[in-house]
Amino acid sequence: MEKYGYVRVSSREQNETRQLLAMQELKVPNNNIYVDRQSGKNFDRPAYQKMLKKLKCNDVVYIKSIDRLGRNYDEVLEQWRRLVKEKRVDIVVIDMPLLDTRREKNLVGTFLSDIVLQVLSFVAENERNDIRQRQAEGIAAAKLRGIRFGRPALALPDNFEKIYEKWESKKITGIEAASQCNMPASTFRYKAKKYKQYTQNQ
């Protein structure tokens, strides 16, 4: 029997220290701790897949909380079944003592673990969906208030208005106008279109 630890953070900016400390307290060997720095939406993660190949019957996998395993309800349940039933390894969720497949290896214990797992996985996915919805609503509300997203538009050069008028009256070509504004021809045409719309609405 060997101890393994699985650690996941959603991005490189997040800190995995708390999870690693928990593994060290449980005396999980450092070379048996696998860390992924990416979303939990699926299990296509290099460290997790590498750990999966090393697991043998009766090994124990520790995770800090169920959402560190994943955030997709169906896939978490499928991976749990794969680990416990196919690989025949034990899983210990440190923050949830009821999710410890080493205890009460009978019908009641298995049934209880399955219920708790399904509830927690469902809550984790719902929380993820709620975050996405709140983000979408926040962006929509910000747009209504006139807040712009994306890269800020480049300011027009001081001579743009005069050059635009020459170009509009066909005194110079688009290429000449773009050159005098020190910008690509495609950018000048785009800016000219926006400038025309702006002046017509004034």
Q: Which residues belong to the active site?
A: 10
For the chain, give percent helix, strand, coil, nearest 5. 55, 10, 35
The token pair at 188 is 């000048």
Cα–Cα distance between 71 and 129 in angstroms, integer?
Answer: 10
SS3 of 148, please? coil
SS3 of 20, please? helix
Give the CA angle between residues 44, 45, 47 to the nearest 5°. 145
Cα–Cα distance between 128 and 138 in angstroms, integer?
Answer: 15
* Strand partners of residue 34: 6
Give the CA angle between residues 38, 134, 43 to the nearest 5°. 25
For the chain, strand residue ranges (E) read 3-9, 33-37, 60-63, 90-93
Cα–Cα distance between 194 and 202 in angstroms, integer?
Answer: 13
